[in-house]
């Protein structure tokens, strides 16, 4: 059975999702105003939505036309609840249609940066300039506003914003959530603070207090296991659960042998020595390595590692004592996406780090409503060290999928040394936090080189460094030549057997971040 503790934030704003690519961004902008918000499907019944007692509701944009068959709608009773509503793009067009205005396919599509003129500064545009540059992306337009509404901003050819101040219902045609509308945060602040009466209660400290209370309520005097991977999500989860229930938590840290240099020691020290957490450190390096002997296919590597992980844990289950709960670092984007997305399976991203289903544990997921940057802020609030809080994402199967082809002890040693140099130099250049990930890959090739007067025939390391917001897309990072040069010289001088370093200049898509 799964019990999911939902945060009992004091004040909630709901984003109704009409299929926009920007719904998550809207939620993030609202939370950046220190107001808690959740995304719900557009067809959530009014009763269910109002039972959450939201202080405000935001309708997202969406790719449809409001007059198209099957276009997403909301429960119209929402308009009668007296709760402030902000409609964005499609959201505004929908409210115009449902409340008696009219919408049509505009003659001129508005896309990109567009000048708007503010006609009324009395609500969403308070304290903003009369002329502003906003980001637009729409074909349809509102031709006439519904009864009770006034036009509050226009572009040269279309309505840009409308409001019914007495009912506190507002619409904007532009996207205040994107960075190209630089004053967009002001629109959210005006809506949240002045119209909805929200206070700034969503802070890392309040998240910790609420999560701790939630965990205590759920777990009582039960016992919890948490699989630590070394990454920030499981670390913050463990630290929160530990703050809530102390010794009732046992962490399991599995060393499958594919971790980065000195990573295992660092995790064990942080949790055992600094936080005094009960920690079972399972050392299973040889088992994993022998199961991967001769395996070259990436998906097969992932499958074997996942299977072996479950086997080892089951064999060690007695070390966990009488555990009823499993703490897991599921994040909000996973929750939203598993509910909505039907993406093709490119790679099996099963997070090696879960416990076997046969243990029949109830889930405790204290960061399930947080975005990654919020998890980091909570980690800092809990006093986790910077090198755990700000660590780049690392795949569950670790270096095993960064050694192309068969994984061998020599290959692991080589890649570990090269990877450590890469991270050290990127940190020394002050670039680590600006990159989403940077790491080395050991290519299954040998090439000719010369060292002293000797011919060499050595291995090749590929350097990968990317910028990204969410790993769905990524750009190769334009690292300074001096940094590339230092990394290359150091790897070739310090890592035995490597005589070539290459830099991967592929973006995602069409490449992926990892090579396997």
Joined together, the tokens standing for residue 96 give: 């115009």
Q: Does 281 bind ligand XMP (CB under 6 A)?
A: no
Query: By C-beta, is 62 or 257 nearer to ligand XMP?
Result: 257
Per annotation, catalytic residue among 11, 42, 74, 89: 89
Dmax (CA) for the chain in angstroms is 87
Residue 241 CA to residue 235 CA, distance in Å, equals 10
The CB-of-467 to ligand XMP minimum distance in angstroms stands at 12
Residue 387 CA to residue 274 CA, distance in Å, equals 14
Q: Does 372 bind ligand XMP (CB under 6 A)?
A: no
Q: How many residues bind ligand XMP (CB under 6 A)?
A: 15
How many C-beta atoms lie closer than 10 Å to residue 292's C-beta?
Answer: 23
The CB-of-382 to ligand XMP minimum distance in angstroms stands at 23
Long-range contacts, stretch 455-459, CB < 8 angstroms, 24+ apart: 456/499, 457/499, 458/497, 458/498, 458/499, 458/500, 459/414, 459/497, 459/498, 459/499, 459/500
For 104, the 3-state DSSP assignment is strand
The CB-of-333 to ligand XMP minimum distance in angstroms stands at 12
From 26-34, 94-102, 119-127, 392-400, span contacting ligand XMP (CB under 6 A) = 392-400
Q: Does 496 bind ligand XMP (CB under 6 A)?
A: no
Say whether 74 is catalytic: no
Joined together, the tokens standing for residue 21 give: 């690519």
From 62-70, 165-173, 452-460, 508-516, span contacting ligand XMP (CB under 6 A) = 508-516
Shortest CA distance to 440 belongs to which of 362, 492, 363? 492
Query: By C-beta, is 76 or 393 nearer to ligand XMP?
Result: 393
Inter-residue contact 169 to 85 (CB < 8 Å):
yes
For 387, the 3-state DSSP assignment is helix
Q: Does 146 bind ligand XMP (CB under 6 A)?
A: no
Q: Does 508 bind ligand XMP (CB under 6 A)?
A: yes
Residue 516 CA to residue 512 CA, distance in Å, equals 8
**Binder to ligand XMP among 54, 61, 397, 458 (CB under 6 A)?**
397
Query: By C-beta, is 201 or 512 nearer to ligand XMP?
Result: 512
Give 133's contacts (C-beta < 8 A, 6+ positions apart).
113, 114, 115, 116, 181, 182
The verdict on whether omega for the bond into residue 220 sits within 30 degrees of 0, i.e. cis, is: no
Query: By C-beta, is 178 or 304 nearer to ligand XMP?
Result: 304
Q: Does 500 bind ligand XMP (CB under 6 A)?
A: no
From 165-173, 317-325, 393-401, 451-459, span contacting ligand XMP (CB under 6 A) = 393-401
**Binder to ligand XMP among 393, 409, 480, 509 (CB under 6 A)?**
393
The CB-of-307 to ligand XMP minimum distance in angstroms stands at 13
Shortest CA distance to 366 belongs to which of 379, 352, 350, 353? 379
Say whether 121 is catalytic: no
From 128-136, 273-281, 288-296, 505-513, span contacting ligand XMP (CB under 6 A) = 505-513
Q: Does 230 bind ligand XMP (CB under 6 A)?
A: no
Residue 75 CA to residue 72 CA, distance in Å, equals 10
The CB-of-372 to ligand XMP minimum distance in angstroms stands at 11
For 19, the 3-state DSSP assignment is coil
Residue 115 CA to residue 250 CA, distance in Å, equals 57
- Interface pattern 463-482 for ligand XMP (x via CB under 6 A): --------x-----------
Q: Does 347 bind ligand XMP (CB under 6 A)?
A: yes
**Binder to ligand XMP among 177, 263, 419, 514 (CB under 6 A)?**
514
From 100-108, 126-134, 321-329, 341-349, span contacting ligand XMP (CB under 6 A) = 341-349
The CB-of-437 to ligand XMP minimum distance in angstroms stands at 6
Inter-residue contact 271 to 251 (CB < 8 Å):
yes
Inter-residue contact 258 to 289 (CB < 8 Å):
no
Q: Catalytic site residues?
A: 89, 175, 177
Which residues sit at the interface with ligand XMP, rule CB under 6 A?
Answer: 302, 346-347, 349, 351, 393, 395-397, 437, 471, 508, 512-514
């Amino acid at each position: 059975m799964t019990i999911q503790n939902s945060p009992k934030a004091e004040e909630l704003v709901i984003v109704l999702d009409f299929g926009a690519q920007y719904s998550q961004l809207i939620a993030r902008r609202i939370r950046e105003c220190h107001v808690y918000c959740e995304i719900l499907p557009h067809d959530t019944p009014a009763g269910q939505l109002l039972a959450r007692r939201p202080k405000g509701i935001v309708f997202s944009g969406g790719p449809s036309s409001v007059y198209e068959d099957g276009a997403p709608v909301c429960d119209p009773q929402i308009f009668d609840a007296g709760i402030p509503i902000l409609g964005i793009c499609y959201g505004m067009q929908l409210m115009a249609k449902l409340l008696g205005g009219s919408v049509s396919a505009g003659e001129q599509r508005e896309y990109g940066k567009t000048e708007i003129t503010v006609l009324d500064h009395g609500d969403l545009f308070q304290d903003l300039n009369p002329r502003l540059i906003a980001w637009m992306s729409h074909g349809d337009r509102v031709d006439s506003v519904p009864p009770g509404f006034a036009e509050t901003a226009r572009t040269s050819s279309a309505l840009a914003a409308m409001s019914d101040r007495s009912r506190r219902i507002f619409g904007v045609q532009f996207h205040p959530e994107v960075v190209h509308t630089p004053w967009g945060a002001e629109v959210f602040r005006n809506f949240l603070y002045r119209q909805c009466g929200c206070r700034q209660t969503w802070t890392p400290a309040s998240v910790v207090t609420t999560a701790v209370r939630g965990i205590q309520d759920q777990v009582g005097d039960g016992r919890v296991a948490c699989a630590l991977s070394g990454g920030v999500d499981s670390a913050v989860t463990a630290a929160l659960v530990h703050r809530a229930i102390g010794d009732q938590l046992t962490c399991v840290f599995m060393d499958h042998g594919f971790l980065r240099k000195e990573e295992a020691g660092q995790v064990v020290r942080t949790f055992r020595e600094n936080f005094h957490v009960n920690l079972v450190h399972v050392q299973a390096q040889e088992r994993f390595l022998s199961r991967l002997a001769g395996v070259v296919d990436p998906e097969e590597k992932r499958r074997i590692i996942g299977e072996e992980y479950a086997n080892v844990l089951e064999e060690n289950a007695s070390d966990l004592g009488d555990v009823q709960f499993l703490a897991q670092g599921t994040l909000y984007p996973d929750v939203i996406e598993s509910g909505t997305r039907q993406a093709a399976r490119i790679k099996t991203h099963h997070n090696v780090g879960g416990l076997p289903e046969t243990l029949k544990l109830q889930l405790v997921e204290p960061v399930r409503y947080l975005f990654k940057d919020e998890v980091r802020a909570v980690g800092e609030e809990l006093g986790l060290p910077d090198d755990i809080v700000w660590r780049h994402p690392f795949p569950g199967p670790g270096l095993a999928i960064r050694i192309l082809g068969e994984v061998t002890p020599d290959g692991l040693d080589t890649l570990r040394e090269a990877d450590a140099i890469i991270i050290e130099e990127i940190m020394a250049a002050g670039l680590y936090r600006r990159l989403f990930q940077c790491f080395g890959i050991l290519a299954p090739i040998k090439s000719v080189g010369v060292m002293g007067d000797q011919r060499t025939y050595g291995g090749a390391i590929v350097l990968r460094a990317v910028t990204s917001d969410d790993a769905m897309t990524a750009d190769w990072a334009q690292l300074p030549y001096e940094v590339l040069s230092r990394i290359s010289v150091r790897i070739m001088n310090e890592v035995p057997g490597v005589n070539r370093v290459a830099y991967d200049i592929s973006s995602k898509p069409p490449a992926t971040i990892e090579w396997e």
